[in-house]
Amino acid sequence: MSFLKRIYRWIDVRIGAGELVEKELTGYLLPRNINVWYSMGSILLVIFTIQVATGILLLVYYVPDADKAFHSITFIMNNVPFGWLIRLCHAVGSNMMVLILFCHMLSVLFMGSYKSPRELNWLSGFTLFLLVLALSLTGYLLPWSQLSFWATTVATNSVGAIPYVGGFLVEFLRGGKLVGPATLGRFFALHVVLIPSTIAAVIGAHLFFLQRTGVSTPPFGLDDSKNRWQGEGYRYESHPGGIPFFPNYVLQDMTSIAVYFAFFLGVIFFAPHVFFPADAFVPANPFQTPDHIKPEWYFLANYQTLKIFPSEFLGLAVQGAVTAFLALLPFIDRGAEKHPLKRPLFMVCAVGGILLYLALMIWGHYS
Partner 1 sequence: MSQTSATTGDGQGDFKLAKERRAFLGACLGALLAAGAGAAAYPVFRYLAPRQKADNGQKVEIPEAELTAGNAKYFEYQGKAAVLIRKKNGDLVALSAVCTHLGCVVQWQKANEQFLCPCHGGLYTADGTVISGPPPKPLEKLSFVVANGKIIVG
Contacting positions for partner 1 (CB under 8 A): 57, 60, 80-83, 85-86
Closer residue to partner 1 in complex, CB, 80/293: 80
Burial of 115 (0-12, 13-18, 19+ CB in 10 A): buried
Smallest distance from the beta carbon of 253 to partner 1, in angstroms? 14
Closer residue to partner 1 in complex, CB, 187/260: 260
- Helix-helix angle 40-61:69-78, to 10 degrees: 110
Residues paired with residue 243 on neighbouring β-strands, in sequence order = 30
Smallest distance from the beta carbon of 70 to partner 1, in angstroms? 20
Smallest distance from the beta carbon of 86 to partner 1, in angstroms? 6
Torsion of CA 154, 156, 161, 164, to 10 degrees: -150
Percentages of the chain per state (helix, strand, coil), in multiples of 5: 70, 0, 30
Q: How far apart are CA 155 and CA 158, in angstroms?
A: 6
- Tell me the C-alpha to C-alpha distance, in Å, between residue 213 and each of 121, 216, 348: 9, 8, 29
The answer to whether the CB of 310 falls within 8 A of the CB of 180 is: no
**Which of the 8 DSSP states describes residue 161?**
G
Closer residue to partner 1 in complex, CB, 57/306: 57
Smallest distance from the beta carbon of 66 to partner 1, in angstroms? 25
Smallest distance from the beta carbon of 87 to partner 1, in angstroms? 10
Smallest distance from the beta carbon of 144 to partner 1, in angstroms? 21
Q: How far apart are CA 59 and CA 42, in angstroms?
A: 26
Q: How far apart are CA 83 and CA 68, in angstroms?
A: 17
Closer residue to partner 1 in complex, CB, 116/248: 248
Smallest distance from the beta carbon of 77 to partner 1, in angstroms? 12
Q: How far apart are CA 350 and CA 347, in angstroms?
A: 5
Closer residue to partner 1 in complex, CB, 85/207: 85
Q: How far apart are CA 212 and CA 78, in angstroms?
A: 48
Smallest distance from the beta carbon of 60 to partner 1, in angstroms? 7
Tally of CB atoms within 10 A around 158: 17
Selection from 107, 111, 93, 108 nearest residue 209 by Cα:
108
Tally of CB atoms within 10 A around 251: 10
Torsion of CA 339, 343, 349, 355, to 10 degrees: 50
Q: How far apart are CA 123 and CA 116, in angstroms?
A: 12
Smallest distance from the beta carbon of 90 to partner 1, in angstroms? 12
